[in-house]
Amino acid sequence: MEDLTVQETTVRTAGRVIVPVILAGGSGTRLWPLSRQQKPKQFLTLGGQSHSLFQQTLLRSAAIARVAPAMIVGNASHRFLIDEQLDEIDQHPDCVVLEPSGRDTAPAVAIAAQQVANRYGPGAMALVMPADHAIADTEAFVAAVNAAADVAEAGELVTFGIRPTRPETGYGYVRCLPANGRAARSVDAFVEKPDAEIAETYVADQDTYWNAGMFLFRADRMLEDLEALEPDLMQNARHALISAEVDGRFLCLDAVAFRGCRSVSIDYAVLERTDRIALMPMDAGWDDVGSWTYLDRLPATDEAGNRSHGDVLIQNAENNIVHSSKRLVALSGVKDLIVVETADAILVAHKQDAQSVKALVKQLEALGREEGEHLQRVYRPWGFYESIAYGSRFQTKRISVKPGAKLSLQMHHHRAEHWVIVQGTAIVERGGERFMLSENESTYIPIGTTHRLENPGNIPLDLIEVQSGTYLGEDDIVRFDDVYGRSDSDASQAPRPAESQPQDQAAAVNA
């Protein structure tokens, strides 16, 4: 890929161009235990859909006329997950900007606006969209974007508004001035998460909208306001971009400069302070998928009003949300519950208490529990792994290696490994040997032996790995060669389980 820093040459475009900027760095803790820090809600497939929310956002943006390839802004810890989901839908974004840490949306928008100006010219428009929202009507979405583009092209910053259908205390609102005959509304004030009584009045108020968190603006206009209103933030964001490193389609921001950016939302930093702001109403079946009760707004899966997914058995129960990932979940004689099962955690909550799931995740973090961070499947550049079983002095994992991919050449001081091939063909390096293994064949890697695994085939290589030894932590790794440019420090920084948990219960694989 060409150099993606602010020093590169502008891409020439004829006429109006819209660049989708997809913000994919959120955490989605209210959808725990399905949503985790290492696989938050934007990367989940919910409500019977065939694509994740992130993938839906990408595919939806491609329907806009004269749209440029998307730009993605995500967390560096989600790099391999983003890569996997892009490949699944054969999408090729302009670039994927990786934030070294979360700093809210203003720094992300500052980076994106600068990139859009560099790539497509200062007058190009950025359509900023969170990756964790659902929109049912793509045609209506495109129509609203096209109408907003006319307004943004004239120099206004445009936010999108949704007419409230229920009193939501967890949403932000935008109050507008009386209609003046044009499609876009003039903004009077932003209101952040009102109480229930005030939220109730907004449902009937035709001049008040939910803040959809989507924005359309000319790159130069946003940069002007950021320079005037947040000069320190803009300076650090610019330095983070200038000093960024390009790695394929990934643009890795400079960590020191980016951490210098004030952590603030683009609403607070610019939109609530600028004098050139407009709201474009959008009626496209929008939902921000903020908690498990989002599923209550989708069609029920039985006549009793239950919404279930997976292996679920229900009798004499109504209006429940039930999600099974692995095991049978059976409900009897209950109503209005949220029941979510994953391989390592089960949530049972009343629907009225859905918003408090976020507080549960904070408790997990305070206790040092890994259940708040990882799901069973963890993605790596070569594929993924899943923990199957663990205990004192052993751990069992399923490992899947992509066609043509290979793990690093490495060794361990404290553990041995047994590999059993389940599907595909493997090239194994072990000590001074190099040999092939096929299905139902196995090998043993003694402690202290250099080793590497490679998939030379055209189908995924699946194997079972059994680790055994006195210490199974992921910092017990010495790398000698890695095609993905990772170092031993990547392994030493892998999350560690709480002392009360089985050793290495959910530590990330860095092989």
Q: What is the pLDDT of residues 41-69, one digit of tens each?
A: 999 999 888 999 999 999 999 999 889 99
The CA R_g of the chain, rounded to the nearest whole Å, is 25
Break the chain into its structural domains and give their ranges.
18-159+213-287, 292-361, 376-492
Q: What is the pLDDT of residues 364-403, one digit of tens each?
A: 999 988 888 877 778 888 998 888 888 889 999 999 999 9
- Are the C-beta atoms of 282 and 34 separated by less than 8 Å? no
**Domain at 18-159+213-287, CATH class:** alpha beta
Q: What three-state secondary structure class fits 264? A: coil
Question: Is residue 508 pLDDT above 50, yes or no?
Answer: no
Question: Is residue 3 pLDDT above 50, yes or no?
Answer: no
Question: Is residue 503 pLDDT above 50, yes or no?
Answer: no
**Domain at 376-492, CATH class:** mainly beta
Write down the pLDDT at residue 341: 96
Distance, in Å, from the CA atom of 181 to the CA atom of 189, rounded to the nearest integer, reads: 19
- Are the C-beta atoms of 416 and 467 separated by less than 8 Å? yes
Structure tokens at 84: 């996997």
Q: Which of 408, 417, 416, 429 is nearest to 480 (CA)?
A: 408
> Which residues are CB-neighbours of 113 under 8 A, at least 6 positions away?
126, 217, 219, 222, 223, 226
Question: Is residue 272 pLDDT above 80, yes or no?
Answer: yes
Instruction: Out of 13-17, 49-53, 300-304, 335-339, pick the least confident.
Output: 13-17
Distance, in Å, from the CA atom of 325 to the CA atom of 320, rounded to the nearest integer, reads: 16
> Which residues are CB-neighbours of 52 under 8 A, at least 6 positions away?
42, 43, 44, 45, 85
Distance, in Å, from the CA atom of 63 to the CA atom of 143, rounded to the nearest integer, reads: 10
Distance, in Å, from the CA atom of 61 to the CA atom of 248, rounded to the nearest integer, reads: 23
Question: Is residue 510 pLDDT above 50, yes or no?
Answer: no
Q: Is 376-492 in the same CATH topology as 18-159+213-287?
A: no
User: At 15, which amino acid appears?
Assistant: G
Q: What is the pLDDT of residues 130-161, one digit of tens each?
A: 999 999 999 999 999 999 999 999 999 999 99
Burial class (CB in 10 A: 0-12, 13-18, 19+), 307: buried
Distance, in Å, from the CA atom of 39 to the CA atom of 31, rounded to the nearest integer, reads: 11
> Which residues are CB-neighbours of 59 under 8 A, at least 6 positions away?
51, 89, 91
Distance, in Å, from the CA atom of 122 to the CA atom of 306, rounded to the nearest integer, reads: 51
DSSP assignment of 155-191 equals: T-EEEEEE--SS--SSSEEEEEPPP-SSSSEEEEEEE
Please list the residues that pair with 162 across neighbouring strands. Answer: 210
Write down the pLDDT at residue 66: 83
> Which residues are CB-neighbours of 281 under 8 A, at least 6 positions away?
144, 160, 161, 162, 163, 183, 185, 209
Q: What percent of the chain has pLDDT over 90?
A: 75
Please list the residues that pair with 433 across neighbouring strands. Answer: 430
In Å, the largest CA–CA distance within the chain is: 78
Write down the pLDDT at residue 257: 97
Structure tokens at 254: 């400079």
Element (H, E) at 109: helix 105-120
- Are the C-beta atoms of 101 and 204 separated by less than 8 Å? no
Structure tokens at 79: 């790099």
Question: Is residue 14 pLDDT above 50, yes or no?
Answer: no
